[in-house]
Amino acid sequence: MIAEVIINRSAKKLNRTFDYNIPVELEELVVIGSRVLVPFGKSSNLVEGYVIAIKENTTYEVKNIAQIKHNLTEKQIELAKWMAKRYFCNLSDCIKQMLTPGTKNKELKKNIQDKKINVVYLKKDIEEIQFDIDIGKIKSEKQKKVLQFLKNNEEVTIPEIEMFTGGTRAIIKTLEKNGYVEIVEKKIERDPLANKKIEKTKNLPLTDEQEKAFEKVKDKILKNEYEEFLLYGVTGSGKTEVYLQLIGQVLEQRKTAIVLVPEISLTPQMIDRFIARFNKEEIAVLHSKLSIGERYDEWNKIKEQKAKIIIGARSAIFAPTENIGIIIIDEEHDSSYKSEAIPKYDAKEIAKKIAKENNCPLVLGSATPDITTYYKSQKGQITLLELTKRANNSKLPNVEIVDLKMELANGNRSMLSVKLHDAIEKNLKAQKQTILFLNRRGYSTFIMCRECGYTVKCKNCNISMTYHKSINKLKCHYCGHEENVVTICPECHSKKIRYFGTGTQKLEQEINKLFPQAQTIRMDVDTVTKKNSHEDILNRFRNENIDILIGTQMVVKGHHFPNVTLVGVIAADSSLNIDDYRATERTFQILTQVAGRAGREKLEGNVIIQSYNPENFSIQYAQKQDYNLFYNTEITIRKQLNYPPFCDIILIGFNSIFEKEIIEVSNSVYNYLIQKLNNNLFTILKPMPSPIDKIQNKYRWRIIIKGHIDENANQILNECLQQVYDKNYKNTRIAIDVNPNNMM
């Protein structure tokens, strides 16, 4: 028997199968989905591959499969094949999504029994490390492999690094000496839910709207039928209670449930509510903040069918789950369900495919549904379930808009309008909590010379550097490059260097200055670098009754703080001024979500939105918290301009260290597509530099296509990619993304 094997390598030229003979002694063991070790090329080392087909003979002279490690099922291989075609990537990249996060050996077992282990962390930013690799500062391939492994995995032990990368302790010590990693002694806790002691709860009485939604989905669970539902409910309307009771029905049928939440919203509150309702032993949690050991144990718990409820971020959709009874995607509008790394998959699309195969319902929940999702519900492609009232009969918060242009005209140059300042003061006196939202981290957005207009930009990327006061440095958020603060303009030698824009660090400093009696806490990318820091900040805010929480979009979604009665949005325009057709949608969503954090119990909630564009319809309708008004306006604009859901946006991105080559490759792709794609069905824009045209010293170009992706178009794009790689352009990388999150 002959096995068709795909080699576990990222090179495009290896994105095809190679035939291997199955030795007689392995014939009963090798199946589609087997993970095998095979001799490959001239190397004496065995390489890893995956069996994706088995046949009786071959026309080639073939080598034997050397070893076998069972891992995947035939169903998983079929899903990986579909993904590779749908998302224009290597089959091996898709298969990797479904592999068990780790494999135990004797040394790992010994470490588990010890009370403490040495854990290796990255010490420098990922972007900074990548830059050092690109410029040749890090030359060792083994060092690169270790750093790549640490980039993809948190809380890694030295034996795990040795096992998965082939790196040695000496290599890790060298990286530590050069400041790239740190080794920390840590107490082992392999169960991520070990310390959770939650008081048990029972099903709450459902409102009429909740009951109606529950019954419709329950009917499909009992009939073992697929149907896609949109549970559209205002903030605080009790969507989670509906999820919990539906999962209870699934467990009664002796089936399993998958619940996806956005990575940023994977808070203890959501998990706590599940632990309070169900047996902790039946719950598995999967997300990137777990250590490899924890993920390994949770994965096996699922594989051995001990876990009946899987809660996790987008990658949890690939968990080895059997007998699925329901898939729930909370905050379905959230952009984190779309991967920006290869494979650029959409977890909602994968969930739909898996739900169909398992004949079970798929429930998408949101207070501000994705425009495309809601459009499908209006067209009858998705069943709409509505929750129009808050579950505890609490009122929606009162929302006011402050025109910052008027504040400036009246001489107020503070980050806080008079109205927001007075509201914070009043809230402090009443001993109520406040959330202040600003979607920019750092201290100042950019530094500019007022004499000549010179702006300090990163030397590796064509982007302004951000000032971080805590380290008194300028930092590029794209490549991690740092520079000392500029005090004299390098262009005109003027000393009139000024800081423009504001970030969360600066806001925190100003709040501490204006309200010295207030306790504040900040949550942004810079303060949640360690494991559990996200959870710790939220717990401190709630349990220590800290007065003011300052944060980026991390504070927006899914949190329930009964004592929060005031929410302030410092700059509502930050999400409007981006080069993306979804700018107004994202602004409306984020403002509505952050407003929903106020007044969630019996206390009245107030929201103050500060803006330089108060007349913009997304801000106006967020004030009214009226999704239907916003949708009707936005969908009309989308139709006129032919944007999704009336077409797909296909972004072909190019990056290269050589400008001449990137222009040649992008024009070659453009000419191919002009000839092959039907010009009546597709609009193909000429190759242009990307809005951020250089990152990490690599030029960036893009081609944008509008049209509906069907089987034929998908085939043409895949063939186009293959032709480019056959021409052997060594310095240019291409990625195709359908309906991307980031148009930059």
Rounded to two decimals, what is the model's pTM?
A: 0.80
Interval 445-497: pLDDT, tens: 667 777 777 888 888 767 778 777 767 788 876 677 788 888 888 888 888 88
The pLDDT mean for the chain works out to 86
Residue 577 pLDDT exceeds 70: no
Residue 327 near residue 228, CB atoms below 8 Å: no
- Name which residue leads in pLDDT, 691 or 88: 88
398-443+502-638: CATH number? 3.40.50.300
Instruction: Give the H/E segment covering residue 163.
Output: helix 158-165
Q: What is the pLDDT of residue 470?
A: 67
- Mean pLDDT (whole number) for 367-372: 95
Interval 611-635: pLDDT, tens: 888 999 999 999 998 999 999 999 9
- Name which residue leads in pLDDT, 537 or 708: 708
Neighbours of 642 (CB within 10 A): 12
Burial class (CB in 10 A: 0-12, 13-18, 19+), 130: buried
Q: What is the pLDDT of residue 187?
A: 58
pLDDT band at 387 (very low <50, low <70, confident <90, very high): very high
Residue 104 pLDDT exceeds 50: no
Residue 530 pLDDT exceeds 70: no
Place of tokens 């004499």: 451
Q: Where are the domains of the chain?
A: 2-96, 115-187, 208-387, 398-443+502-638, 648-738
Are 208-387 and 398-443+502-638 in the same CATH fold? yes
Give me the count of residues in the chain. 744
Could you please state the CATH topology (level 3) that the domain comprising 2-96 is classified under: GIY-YIG endonuclease (3.40.1440)
- Mean pLDDT (whole number) for 234-250: 92
- Of 733, 712, 731, nearest to 721 by C-alpha is 733
Interval 143-192: pLDDT, tens: 998 998 888 776 788 888 887 787 888 899 999 999 999 988 775 556 66
Residues contacting 250, CB < 8 A, separation 6+: 221, 256, 257, 325, 326
* Euclidean distance between CA atoms 536 and 261, whole angstroms: 19
- Name which residue leads in pLDDT, 226 or 536: 226
Superfamily of the domain at 208-387? P-loop containing nucleotide triphosphate hydrolases (3.40.50.300)
Could you please state the CATH topology (level 3) that the domain comprising 648-738 is classified under: Alpha-Beta Plaits (3.30.70)
Instruction: Give the H/E segment covering residue 726.
Output: helix 711-726
Residue 594 near residue 437, CB atoms below 8 Å: yes
Interval 532-569: pLDDT, tens: 666 778 878 888 889 999 988 777 765 677 888 899 99
- Name which residue leads in pLDDT, 86 or 604: 86
Determine what percent of the chain is predicted with pLDDT higher than 70.
90
Q: What is the pLDDT of residue 559?
A: 66
Cis peptide before 516 (omega within 30 of 0): no
| Helices within 338-385 (DSSP H only) | 347-357, 371-378
Interval 639-673: pLDDT, tens: 999 999 999 999 999 999 999 999 999 999 999 99
Instruction: Give the H/E segment covering residue 46.
Output: strand 46-55
